[in-house]
Amino acid sequence: MQIIAKNKILKRDFDIVSRIEAGIVLNGEEIKSIRAGRINLKGSYVKILNGRSGKSELFLIGCHIHTQKTDPYRTRKLLVRKSEIRALIGKTTEKGLALMPISVYLKSGRAKIEVGIAKGLKKIDKREKIKKEEVQRRLRRLVNKN
């Protein structure tokens, strides 16, 4: 598994409740760009919409994949099982939860995206999270010295 891109802002502003792996529907030029690392997840999000057949489907919105011929910000369909979509619908109805892309990676030659159910952090929560990370970092340094 080769990680191509990560959503770095997500770690700072959100707390990830659960994760799910999904495939991405891409054209040839887009997969070439992803393999070259020309993808940006900043400002992108995942939304559950009704597709052509009336069934609920996941879509990646606002992700930039560098291409020459097509719109780099076009909406891309995500491939997920029906049961996983039903579970996501049940969880995201809670207030303050959102579907966010965590990372894009290649798995056996195919582009996959890790989608997480994220809860937005308030300023106080962010400070507490930073303090905990700092304590963990100091403990690791002490253990490595001994």
pLDDT digits (tens, 9 = 90+) for 89-145: 877 777 778 889 999 999 988 999 999 998 887 888 778 888 888 999 999 888 887
Neighbours of 69 (CB within 10 A): 8
Please name the helix (run of DSSP H) or strand (run of DSSP E) that holds residue 47, with its range, or none. Answer: strand 45-50
Percentage of the chain lying above the pLDDT 70 cut:
97
> How high is the mean pLDDT of the chain?
87
Domains, the chain, ordered by start: 2-121 (2.40.280.10)
The answer to whether 116 and 18 are in contact (CB under 8 A) is yes
pTM for the model: 0.78
φ, ψ at 33 (rounded to 5°): -65, -40
Q: What is the pLDDT of residues 77-102, one digit of tens each?
A: 999 998 888 888 877 777 778 889 99
Q: Compute CA distances 50 → 85, 92, 125, whole Å.
A: 11, 16, 34
Task: Say what the pLDDT of residue 16 is.
Answer: 86
